[in-house]
Amino acid sequence: MKAIVLNGFGGLDVLEYRDIPKPQAVAGTVLIKIKAFGINHAEMHMRRGEWAEAAPVSGIECVGIVEACPGGEFAVGTKVAAFMGGLGRTINGSYAEYTLASVNNVAAIESDLPWAELAAIPITYATAWTCLFRNLDLQKGQTIVIRGASSSFGLAAVNMAVNAGAKVIATTQKEAQFEKLQALGVMRCEVDRPGLSEHLAETGQIDAVLDLVGNSVVLDSLRIVRRGGKVCLAGWLGGLDPIADFNPLLQMASGVYLTFFGSFVFGSPQFPVSDVPLQSIAADIAAGRYQARPSRVFRFDEVREAHRLMEANEANGKMVVVHDDA
């Protein structure tokens, strides 16, 4: 089968197109003929060698058709999404014609949406849903700040939070994205910056912050919320560097809650994929309640270009790759 294999770590040229053996399904796994897959920042970090683990074939998510499932958990021909469970990290992932995923990380997703639109859903919407409605327990009428809102993850979170009846303040470093975010129904947009808490009139009254920028601003995010408010750290758009000389007792705001979510836990007993309402999310997208079309669609032979745009911070939303036969 055709696959894109990491030939070491580094720039775009380490993404090599090769023919490799097609994986064989065994009990507890699902062999999926991939129709499309999303492009994610995690794969860029793996390519650069900045991640703790990286499989030869990258790619942490895909959508496609079940070709084999020895345990019978999914019927052959079922339309499915697969994400995490080691894909692209400890086992070969989705930058290929086929992938072999754990049954715990596969979900049926029957929909008439085109493959390109289905590919924009799995990890992005599953993570956004978990952060908003599990970790932050976001309720109708609450006010939330979403930092990094113009990213693909941020846009999914905005879609969901607005449709749940929350008041959303969206932040981005790109003022050019304000119009797009306003069209999604946010209360207002702000330019993200260090010390954002000092520039928000509502600081101290906000119910929640979804922080996708990361360690560089998380202490500031904790200053934004009210007493009893919650901050969920779930991204590293601002880089992977740790907080220098971190002393929680002296640096963290008192009386607020910090939680985080790493999508690598999907498929574990505490975070089963079956908990995520992917089917209803796809239905909401089909009905137009979420504006979730990918920002760019690439062919399989254009993955290097997708990585180039991601590295240049020019994705402007979710980018996906669609196989020619999709």
Domain boundary among 222, 241, 261: 261
> How many other C-beta atoms can be found within 10 angstroms of the C-beta atom of residue 211?
30
Q: Quote the CA–CA distance of 202 and 263 in Å, as a whole number.
A: 30
Shared-domain flag, residues 184 and 106: no
Residue with tokens 């499989």: 55
Domain boundary among 246, 261, 276: 261
Mean pLDDT in each 10-residue stretch from start to end of the chain (326 residues)? 96 96 96 97 93 92 98 97 95 98 96 96 96 97 97 94 97 92 96 94 96 93 96 87 85 91 91 92 93 93 96 90 90
Shared-domain flag, residues 306 and 272: yes
Shared-domain flag, residues 57 and 108: yes
Q: How distant, in Å, are the alpha carbons of 118, 263, 283 from that of 272?
A: 20, 11, 21
Please, where are the H alpha helices in the chain? 41-48, 115-119, 122-130, 152-163, 178-183, 218-224, 248-251, 278-286, 303-311
Q: What is the pTM of this model?
A: 0.93
Q: Which two tokens stand for residue 13?
A: 């040229």
Shared-domain flag, residues 90 and 183: no
For the chain, give me the number of helices (H) and strands (E)?
Answer: 9, 15
Shared-domain flag, residues 14 and 83: yes
Q: Are 318 and 291 spatial neighbours (Cβ–Cβ below 8 Å)?
A: no
Shared-domain flag, residues 116 and 130: no
What pLDDT was estimated at residue 168?
A: 98
> How many other C-beta atoms can be found within 10 angstroms of the C-beta atom of residue 290?
22
Q: Quote the CA–CA distance of 109 and 96 in Å, as a whole number.
A: 20
Q: Which domain holds residue 234?
A: 124-261
Q: Are 147 and 322 spatial neighbours (Cβ–Cβ below 8 Å)?
A: no
Q: Quote the CA–CA distance of 23 and 316 in Å, as a whole number.
A: 34
What sign results for the dihedral spanned by CA atoms 320, 131, 214, 224?
A: positive
* Torsion, CA 313, CA 311, CA 213, CA 95, rounded to 10: 120
Residue 91 bridge partners (DSSP):
87
Domain boundary among 217, 233, 261: 261
What pLDDT was estimated at residue 180?
A: 92
CA neighbours within 13 Å on the CB side: how many for 264?
14
Q: Quote the CA–CA distance of 323 and 85 in Å, as a whole number.
A: 23
Shared-domain flag, residues 21 and 35: yes
Q: How distant, in Å, are the alpha carbons of 35, 127, 167, 204 from that of 198?
A: 46, 29, 20, 10
CATH number reported for the structural domain that contains residue 227 in this entry: 3.90.180.10
Distance of CA 42 to the CA centre of its chain: 9
**What length does the chain have?**
326
Shared-domain flag, residues 131 and 255: yes
Beta-strand relationship, 188-191 and 167-172: parallel
Q: Which two tokens stand for residue 22?
A: 């097609």
Shared-domain flag, residues 202 and 190: yes
Shared-domain flag, residues 134 and 195: yes
CA–CA–CA angle 165, 149, 39 (5° rounding): 115
Q: Quote the CA–CA distance of 104 and 83 in Å, as a whole number.
A: 10
Q: How many domains does the chain have?
A: 2
Shared-domain flag, residues 61 and 143: no
Reduced to 3 states, what is the DSSP secondary structure of residue 322? strand
Q: How distant, in Å, are the alpha carbons of 44, 80, 90, 95 from that of 20?
A: 22, 23, 17, 12
Shared-domain flag, residues 216 and 314: no
